[in-house]
Amino acid sequence: MLSASDGVILVVVTLIVAKWGVQLGLEWLNRRHVVAHSDRVPAGLEAVMDEETYRRSVDYTLAKGRLRQWGITLDVAVLLAVLFSGVLPWGFRTALGAWGESVWSMAGFLVITMIAIGLPSWPLDWYEQFHLEQRFGFNKTTPRVWVLDRVKSLLLSVVLGLPLFALILAVVNWAGAAWWLWAWVCVLVVQFILFLLAPVLILPLFNRFDPLPEGSLRERLLRLAERTGFQAKGIQVMDGSKRSKHSNAFFTGIGRFRKIVLFDTLIEALQESELEAVLAHEIGHYKKRHVTKMMLVSAILLLVGLYLVAWLSKQAWFYAAFGFQTESVAPALLLVGLLGGVISFWLGPLLNSLSRRHEYQADAYAKAVIGESAPLVQALRKLNEQNLSNLTPHPFYSRFYYSHPTLQEREQALTAAT
């Protein structure tokens, strides 16, 4: 007869192995699909890439896939080792023994554990940046910038994580059984404050932001913002080229503090009419309230997660399965954090289909505002070419992992008669 704790172990291991198997299976499918289409540029995309660039995009896709397989397997090995070696209950006892049973010492245990679990993937990250990305000409990062980025991120997770966990644990002590509801409200408020302050306090730690210089581009983009009734305090250029040749655009802040941010790499790659189309697409996201909708989805997931923590922390069999003997909520917070991925992985296709719908809507908005689809199509083609994007992902693979429709899908939607 299995005990309840054995049952938990069995379920958890099954979930981890199932995710691992599906991930490797998806990599395998995608690889076969890409190789099967590798001899020539897919029909209809000849204008996007020439033969040589297409071959490079195939090589890049395959090289990234191989590296990802290692990453997936390493993550599984680390997770299994951390969960079942007894290191977590040992760390918990040690932390409480050294610092006492205050919420701060438990928060310290949580932050240190989260950081430590991230460390084993650093060598692979290094390899990806300085070998793989380097080989295909994308890397612009120096080892110094790379190390500094890590150090800054570590300090940020301590500075932000420690008080946040301490706050949640204090709410547990104060609010009783319904603490998860109160903690949810607290976390949402903290998230909102960070969302407001990030452009001023966090992003400048990693990048330089300069106003877009006076000139025809700036005037054109400001006219677009005015025409669409998009309030913005200014347009800024971010030095994305400090790290990589990949490019992007986004906006930060809310209300009249909103700023449009363009990567310098994007400005370099695109013509003015194409940049205007990209900005129109981003404004489309704003107009259709996509950011708000995605935040709502993540808030709901957070609520479910916190409820799960509250419930599991009361189940002796759950704690026993992982070697914990405590009344504290902290281990459940950690375990749900570690195991959340093996459950949320299966939500990927659902969340991505929502995100794709948003992309189609933003594209349609851009087309309507610009009056034609050509500049956006041209911009998307250039970005796919420049990023050596995989033009032929396996359909299952893109369902699971792609938050954006493929170039072909977007072009079809943009050029279809409306």
The nearer residue to Zn ion, 113 or 389, going by C-beta atoms, is 389
Number of Cβ within 10 Å of residue 74's Cβ equals: 14
Please, which of residues 362-381 interact with Zn ion by CB under 5 A? 362
Task: Please choose, from the candidates 53, 310, 69, 44, the residue with its C-alpha nearest in 3D space to the C-alpha of residue 169.
Answer: 310
Residue 133 or 359: which CB sits closer to Zn ion?
A: 359
Within 119-178, residue ranges assigned H as helices are 122-127, 133-135, 143-175
Whether 282 is catalytic = yes
Query: Considering the complex, what minimum distance in angstroms separates the CB of residue 404 from Zn ion?
Result: 7
Contacts of 184 by beta carbon, 8 Å cutoff, 6+ apart:
299, 302, 303, 306
Q: How far is the CB of 80 from Zn ion (least distance, A)?
A: 36
Q: Give the list of residues 6+ apart from residue 42 with CB closer than 8 angstroms, or none.
A: 391, 392, 408
By beta-carbon proximity to Zn ion, the closer residue of 68 and 358 is 358
**Nearest CB to Zn ion, comparing residues 224 and 362:** 362
Element of type H or E holding 235: strand 234-238
- Distance between CA 185 and CA 191 in Å, rounded? 10
By beta-carbon proximity to Zn ion, the closer residue of 140 and 281 is 281
Structure tokens at 64: 């990234």
Active site residue 46: no
- What binding mask, one character per residue, do residues 231-270 give for Zn ion by CB under 5 A, x or -? ----------------------------------------
Site map 22..61 versus Zn ion, x via CB under 5 A: ----------------------------------------
Q: SS3 for 239-262, per residue?
A: CHHHCECCCCEEEECCHHHCEEEE
Cβ of residue 315: shortest distance to Zn ion, in angstroms?
42
Give the interface size with Zn ion as a residue count (CB under 5 A): 2
State which residue, 68 or 290, has the beta carbon closest to Zn ion.
290
Tell me the closest approach of the beta carbon of residue 309 to Zn ion, in angstroms: 33
Q: Find out whether 189 and 168 touch, Cβ atoms under 8 Å.
A: no
Of residues 346-365, those binding Zn ion (CB under 5 A): 359, 362
Per the residue annotation, which of 276, 363, 385, 411 is the catalytic one?
363
Q: Which is nearer to Zn ion, 19 or 281 (CB)?
A: 281
Q: Which amino acid is at 181?
A: L
- For Zn ion, the closer of residues 8 and 362 by Cβ is 362
CA dihedral 123, 207, 194, 112 (to 10 degrees): 20
∠325-327-330 over CA atoms, to 5°? 90
Give the footprint of Zn ion on residues 136-175 (CB under 5 A): none
CB 164 within 8 Å of CB 111: no
Smallest separation, CB 379 to Zn ion (Å): 12
- Work out how close the CB of 285 gets to Zn ion at its nearest, in angstroms, rounded to a whole number: 6
Count Cβ atoms below 10 Å from residue 79 Cβ, excluding itself: 19
> Which member of 133, 282, 359, 411 is catalytic?
282
- C-alpha 300/C-alpha 242 separation (Å) is 36
CA distances from 231 to 52, 225, 287, 365 (A): 43, 7, 11, 17
Helices and strands (H and E) in the chain: how many: 19, 4
Tokens of 342: 């093996």
Closest C-alpha among 212, 267, 203 to residue 234: 212
Give the shortest CB-278-to-Zn ion separation in angstroms.
9
Site string for Zn ion, 307-346 (x = CB under 5 A): ----------------------------------------
CB of 341 to Zn ion, least distance (A): 24
Report, as residue numbers or ranges, the catalytic residues.
282, 363
Residues that bind Zn ion (CB under 5 A): 359, 362
